Chains A and B, each alone.
Chain A
Amino acid sequence: MLSEEEVKKVALLSRIGLTEEEILKYQHDMSAVFDFFRELETLSTDDVEPIGHITGRSDVMRSDMCEDFGDTGRQALLDNVPAKKDGFVKVRSVF
């Protein structure tokens, strides 16, 4: 069983605010899911290479080029920004 403290810690790492009620709920839910994962412990995988890419593609290259979406593209992106000033994205202070 995950402790209340563990749930609070993982919620903070996940940047998700939780109510006291939710903490208890997720403590229960997540513990059940982690118990469900235990089945994997019964399987030995010592000599197994983990999967990288499932269809085996690797080192796919593309040219490092800047794609210009123009003013319209920039405006479409900025229109989605919740808070902005003088064409810049506004962010709260870190501390």
Chain B
Amino acid sequence: MIRELHNKLVAGEVTAVDLAKQYLKNIKEKESDILAYLSVFEERALAEASLVDEQLKRGETIDLLAGIPGAIKDNMLIEGTRTTSASKILDNYIAPYDATVITKLKSVHTVILGKTNMDEFALGSSTEKSAYQITKNPHDLTRVPGGTSGGSAASVASGESVWALGSDTGGSIRQPASFCGVVGLKPTYGRVSRYGLMAGASSLDQIGPLGQTVEDVAIVLSRIAGHDPHDATTADSGHEKKYEEYLGADVRGKKIGIPKEYFSSDLDPRIQKICDDALKIFQSLGVEIVEISLPHSSFALPTYYIIQPCEVSSNFARYDGIRYGLSINDEKDSIEKTSTLLETYLDTRKYGFGPEVKRRIMLGTYSLSAGYYDAYYLKAQKVRALLKRDFEQAFEKVDFIFSPTAPEPAFKIGDKSADPIKMYLGDIYTITANLTGVPALSFPIGTVDEEGKKLPIGGQLQGKWFDEENLLCMADAFEKKYNNK
């Protein structure tokens, strides 16, 4: 889709300003139903688009992503704009600098339409935990778009943006991509700089693209990836070609592993059937399907739900009511009269954070406290080593690992919000990629019928560390075959 729009821009069939206006119009028409955006930058978007038109008028070559309207999850900083992470504690926060991904996107003159809704501080699986609004699934407005990058996925699925950026700590790009019927990639840990991404769990967080097609995702990834001196965990790309230039290569002879632990008898038979059909498509492409084992899979969920809250509790100490954001410390406009520093902390965080954020901070604080560290965090980091070993052994035999992205289609709004464990269990297929650091892509592989609506189901391919090019290549080959079947 991005390439088509780019060709139209270059051929002069449409101007970048027209394109931006079209998407701003889509937003105006659809937002009352979808609620994907927390802020829309009409003026900025049109100004950026007119720069692209001027470049074209001067006969300059423009980047593939130049003038193509996209949306950014509201936990990434864009200088001079309100950035809330969908939390009341950052209700009045104005980003003082650009995240590295934004600097990179600005350098190719892409058009940023606005900031998208999410679960507060990217904690959740449904975007219901935003402090501002509940984004609706464009395929069925009574259902969640998934989360935490639900606004980004819904904006792409509803035509309110061409592409979007999300962040993924345990599936937050892939699960909403699955629920909304779009493509979403969590790159290898260290592929994309996290500088200017509000930190959640620093050893798991990764920014990644969402789009209508695998190629769109590849195009956006090429523009945001790479080493950044501001993020010591980032790696050099190791190759000169852009990701989209790898697509179309022969995938024959590649091997896809099917972990027996991921396909138990509990799996929804409709999803099992869709996965079986997807594997037939892969086979028709000359890909070999191999059964593998990831023996420690069942330990991934508790491991994740120890490590993630521990890192969150530590990172979120910064929301102290002193340096930025909400502060309940001034008698004139306070909810409760406070007098000491401790009370500033307690009250600011009491009124500023939502229930899920409080729960994770307390879980993490407890797990890290004296006497419990060995039993929880240290134990979890050891199990994480075992999970990584599972993947290393699997990748000696196969090139990719396939599973559904989520064990279910999009669920109804309100269905799971009361029970944290129930919500956490939905992350079963996605969290291991974060714990082990491998890249993982969700892409549409079918639909199920629910109450007369067709709900998308995503398949997930996990690849080897820093092997995004082959991962995208394989999914692209599948997508072309699937769309022409």
**A contact residues vs B (CB 8 Å cutoff):** 6-7, 10-18, 22, 25-26, 29-30, 32-34, 36-40, 43, 45, 48-51, 53-55, 57, 60, 62, 69, 73, 76-77, 79-83, 89, 91-95
Check A95 against B340 for contact (C-beta < 8 Å).
yes
Check: B278 CB closer than 8 A to any chain A CB: no
Q: Can you offer 6 A-B residue contacts whose CB atoms are under 8 A?
A: A16-B350, A26-B358, A32-B420, A49-B385, A83-B327, A93-B340
Check B437 against A11 for contact (C-beta < 8 Å).
no
CB-based nearest A residue for B298 = A39
Check: B281 CB closer than 8 A to any chain A CB: no
Interface string of B305-328 (1 = CB under 8 A from A): 110000001000100111111110
Q: Provide the bound-state CA to CA distance between A80 and B82, in Å.
A: 11
**Residue from A22, A26, A36, A95 whose CB has the most chain B CB atoms within 10 Å:** A36
Interface string of B206-242 (1 = CB under 8 A from A): 0000000000000000000000010011010000000
Q: How far is the CB of B189 from chain A (nearest CB, A)?
A: 5
Check: B383 CB closer than 8 A to any chain A CB: yes
Q: Provide the bound-state CA to CA distance between A63 and B350, in Å.
A: 39
Known contacts A17-B349, A82-B324, A92-B344; is A54 also within 8 Å of B388 by CB?
yes
Band of interface residues on B: 35 or more
Across the interface, B323 reaches (CB within 8 A) one of A26, A69, A81, namely A81
Interface string of B332-356 (1 = CB under 8 A from A): 0000001111111111011001010
Check: B384 CB closer than 8 A to any chain A CB: yes
Check B346 against A15 for contact (C-beta < 8 Å).
yes
Return chain A residues, CB-CB under 8 Å to B326: 82
Q: Provide the bound-state CA to CA distance between A52 and B187, in Å.
A: 19
Check B382 against A55 for contact (C-beta < 8 Å).
no
Q: How far is the CB of B109 from chain A (nearest CB, A)?
A: 23
Check: B97 CB closer than 8 A to any chain A CB: yes
Known contacts A17-B346, A36-B302; is A43 also within 8 Å of B296 by CB?
yes
Check A55 against B189 for contact (C-beta < 8 Å).
yes
CB-based nearest B residue for A42 = B299
Check: B376 CB closer than 8 A to any chain A CB: yes
Q: Provide the bound-state CA to CA distance between A15 and B364, in Å.
A: 13
Return chain A residues, CB-CB under 8 Å to B342: 15, 94
Check B93 against A80 for contact (C-beta < 8 Å).
yes
Check: B96 CB closer than 8 A to any chain A CB: yes
Return chain B residues, CB-CB under 8 Å to A13: 365, 369
Q: Provide the bound-state CA to CA distance between A63 and B286, in Å.
A: 50
Q: How far is the CB of B312 from chain A (nearest CB, A)?
A: 11
Return chain A residues, CB-CB under 8 Å to B232: 57, 60, 62
Across the interface, B94 reaches (CB within 8 A) one of A49, A76, A91, namely A76
Q: How far is the CB of A60 from chain B (nearest CB, A)?
A: 4
CB-based nearest A residue for B309 = A33
Return chain B residues, CB-CB under 8 Å to A11: 362
Return chain B residues, CB-CB under 8 Å to A80: 92-94, 96, 323-325
Q: How far is the CB of B465 from chain A (nearest CB, A)?
A: 6
Check A30 against B346 for contact (C-beta < 8 Å).
no
Q: Provide the bound-state CA to CA distance between A73 and B80, in Å.
A: 11
Check B346 against A94 for contact (C-beta < 8 Å).
no
Q: Provide the bound-state CA to CA distance between A73 and B317, in Å.
A: 23
Return chain B residues, CB-CB under 8 Å to A91: 322, 341
**Residue from A6, A77, A91 whose CB has the most chain B CB atoms within 10 Å:** A91
Q: Provide the bound-state CA to CA distance between A12 and B436, in Å.
A: 33
Q: How far is the CB of A3 from chain B (nearest CB, A)?
A: 12
Check B322 against A32 for contact (C-beta < 8 Å).
no
Return chain A residues, CB-CB under 8 Å to B80: 76
CB-based nearest B residue for A63 = B229
Across the interface, A82 reaches (CB within 8 A) one of B306, B329, B466, namely B329
Q: How far is the CB of B338 from chain A (nearest CB, A)?
A: 7
Across the interface, A30 reaches (CB within 8 A) one of B306, B320, B366, namely B366
Q: Provide the bound-state CA to CA distance between A38 and B10, in Å.
A: 59
Known contacts A16-B353, A55-B235, A76-B96; is A45 also within 8 Å of B386 by CB?
yes
Check B362 against A14 for contact (C-beta < 8 Å).
yes
Known contacts A36-B302, A45-B379, A51-B381; is A92 also within 8 Å of B340 by CB?
yes
Check A14 against B299 for contact (C-beta < 8 Å).
no
Q: Provide the bound-state CA to CA distance between A89 and B299, in Å.
A: 46
Known contacts A45-B382, A91-B341; is A30 also within 8 Å of B96 by CB?
no
Check: B65 CB closer than 8 A to any chain A CB: no
Return chain A residues, CB-CB under 8 Å to B343: 92
Return chain B residues, CB-CB under 8 Å to A82: 321-322, 324-327, 329-330
Return chain B residues, CB-CB under 8 Å to A38: 302
Check A92 against B329 for contact (C-beta < 8 Å).
yes
